[in-house]
Amino acid sequence: METRLRHISDVAVASGLPQAMHHPIRPEWFQGKHEAQLGKLVGITQFGVNILTLDPGAASALRHWHECEDEFVYVLTGKLTLIDENGEHDLIAGSFAGFPAGQPNAHHLANKSSEPASFITVGTRKVGMETIHYPDDFAEPQTVMRDANGNRLNQIRP
């Protein structure tokens, strides 16, 4: 049995969109997105745990919802705007929100403030096929595949 301990200084931070993504939609939204994947470094495969920082003007993702994956966000610093099917909602440090699997409440976070904002996101990493809906950007739902370690095997098609 192994104790899996790490420190935030051990974590690589990826900025912008993944290099493997071809023909991205709205790439300008993600230039100020910085993501550190914590869960993978301690061997977590059934759900993801990430810290994201959004610079002013950046967004977390395209607005979306998952058929089989839960998502949870907790704001650490700054002010973010949650944009979902019910409009815009201000989130400040200490605010949190959940998006249960199968509920068609397309959502994303945007930083409309003048300062960077950080949050933790936790989400299911369903092995096999998952369907994601992007009502603002795709007419049809998108299918992604994950391996046994929770890694995405394909990208959303444009």
Write down all domains in the chain, each with its CATH number in brackets: 27-146 (2.60.120.10)
Kindly give the confidence (pLDDT) of every residue in the chain, 158 residues in length, as a single tens digit, with 9 standing for 90 and above: 899 999 999 999 999 877 666 667 888 888 999 999 999 999 998 999 999 999 999 999 999 999 999 999 999 999 999 999 999 999 999 999 999 999 999 999 999 999 999 999 999 999 999 999 999 988 889 888 888 888 888 766 65
Kind plus residue range of the DSSP H or E element containing 92: strand 87-92
Beta-bridge partner residues of 145: 129
What's the pLDDT score for residue 21?
65
- How far CA 120 is from CA of 37, 50, 70, in Å, comes to 10, 6, 14
For residue 139, the model assigns a pLDDT of 83
What lies within 8 Å, CB to CB, of 158 at 6+ separation is 22, 23, 24, 25
